[in-house]
Amino acid sequence: MSNMDQVITTDIYIGGDRRPASDGGTYDLYNPARPSELVGHATAATRADIDDAVKAAHAAFPAWAEMGYQARIDLMRQVAEMLGANEEDIKYRSRLFTREHGKIARETLMEMSRVGDRFRQAAAYGERIMVDEVMGPAPVGPQFDTIVTRQPRGVAALIVPWNWPLSILGAKLPQALVTGNTVVVKPAENSAMAPVLTLQMIAKMLPPGVVNVVTGSSRSIGDALTGHPLVRNVNFTGSVPVGRHVMKVAAENLTPVTLELGGNDAALVLEDAALNDEVFNKMYWGAFGSSGQICMAMKRLYVHESRYDEVVDGFTAACERAVVGDGLLPETTMGPVNNAKQLRVVTDMIAEARAKGADVRECGQVPDEELYNGGGYFQRPALVYNADPSLSVVREEQFGPAMPIMKFSTEAEAIALANDSEFGLCSSVWTEDAERAVGIAKKLEAGYTYLNGHGPMAQDGRGPFGGFKNSGIGRNMGYDGVLAFAEPHSISAPAGFLVD
């Protein structure tokens, strides 16, 4: 074991101080590629720790809000610079992230870099809010002069999932901070250590209590956080069942919530789509980046019947080039699924499709058969050709390396198939006709539609992100994602008092 791979223990962070749990509790995290390999111990916070963290954030709120936008903007930019300053530390946290999560090394490095970028973006949006406020009063009527300002709510509870914790953290944390909120962040239980180390670095750049970090089981501490009477905003990313529960708990205090709850994204390949190796490679990463464990991943591929065989051949060939194994190895392009429970979800879908007579092909190369079959949470990319719509691999979110490919005949049929889902997060349209692409996109029940691309590599962070139906409520990212953390405050006066 190298010095970079020593077993570590991460603390919680409350009121400017690192500390253990109030009862000294920890839990173990293991490498998904080698489940017997202990990576480290994370602190198992108690309900008392949650109370301390929320109260610390509440105490820090008045001064942080009073600081004003420009001072907070300056700090956001300083945090962004700090996050990218130490190359050796970035490598260390990225390697730790791969070992606790399983995703390939180049993806963890991409996540690390995104956090700083999103602090810069939030700072720019803070400047926009300042301009919007200074531009008042508006509108001016015959009886009143009115200015509409934005006020922070107070303590924000930010709950981050295990699949892309740092990237999703970047969609919540700087937005909450720049608008003047203080925060309690809870990373996912089974992907906590690298996010905690990163959050502690950020917290140390800010006044004590502005950023507080707790880790542990949501079953033990989740309700204590989302139902705390001093929490003024809950921003949750995760599963539909847990999202519903979060909303119920928050409702007891009428706490506003933002919920991003995943999706079952449909991709529509029209008859005039440009298809070549580069396009099929885009499709592969759109579907199977992070072993398919991405909320906005391509999860249902619908192809015009005239291009179906071409897409099947080209996409299958791209999947066959996948190299499945340890995410730390440079040749690996697909690591393990993060945990045994999620692996079972995917393998059960594949088994059901086979049992019902579907044509299923598992693709990809496995250089280390001993590792692959040695108990790690591995699954090669699995394609279900011409899948029956009743199969769970079509109806449900796989959140792993399995995907159905199906035919359609008409544009109307394609739109209907895409919208035939309880989810409505993202979608994509593949065509050479820009006007037609936009027209179809506007008919899709999705919060974000990609054209000739899909997933994180096709996403413009300036656009608000969130979904329809069971994919959630509200938006992160973009200017809308910043405004979600600030309440409008209208200030009116008799006509002539504010404007001559």
pLDDT digits (tens, 9 = 90+) for 276-326: 999 999 999 999 999 999 999 999 999 999 999 999 999 999 999 999 999
| pLDDT digits 0-9 by tens, 163-199 | 999 999 999 999 999 999 999 999 999 999 999 999 9
The token pair that represents 116 in the structure block: 């700083």
CA atoms within 13 A on the CB side of 145: 11
**CB count, 10 Å around CB of 456?**
20
* Active-site entry in 260, 397, 426, 445: 260
| pLDDT computed for residue 143 by the predictor | 78
Interior CA angle at 461 toward 457 and 465, to 5°? 100
Task: Assess whether 426 carries a catalytic annotation.
Answer: no
* Active-site entry in 295, 319, 363, 426: 295
The domain 265-461 belongs to what CATH superfamily? Aldehyde Dehydrogenase; Chain A, domain 2 (3.40.309.10)
State pTM to two decimals: 0.95
Interior CA angle at 130 toward 127 and 132, to 5°? 110
Is pLDDT of 430 > 80? Answer: yes
DSSP class per residue in 326-341: -TTSTT-SB---S-HH
pLDDT confidence band for 146 (50 / 70 / 90): confident
Evaluate whether 422 touches 287 at the Cβ level (below 8 Å): no
Do you know the residue count of the chain? 500
| CA quadruple 441, 445, 450, 453: dihedral sign | negative
Average pLDDT over residues 109-126: 93
User: What is the distance, to the nearest Å, from the Cα of residue 62 to the centroid of all Cα atoms in its chain?
Assistant: 29
Task: Assess whether 260 carries a catalytic annotation.
Answer: yes
Reduced to 3 states, what is the DSSP secondary structure of residue 59?
helix
Evaluate whether 14 touches 52 at the Cβ level (below 8 Å): yes
Average pLDDT over residues 416-442: 98
Class of CATH domain 3-261+476-488 = alpha beta
Nearest to residue 411, comparing CAs of 454, 388, 440? 440
| Share of residues in the chain with pLDDT > 70 (%) | 97
Evaluate whether 97 touches 29 at the Cβ level (below 8 Å): no
User: What is the distance, to the nearest Å, from the Cα of residue 268 to the centroid of all Cα atoms in its chain?
Assistant: 23
**Where do the structural domains in the chain lie, given as residue ranges?**
3-261+476-488, 265-461
Partnered with residue 85 across adjacent β-strands are none
**CB count, 10 Å around CB of 275?**
17
| pLDDT computed for residue 113 by the predictor | 83
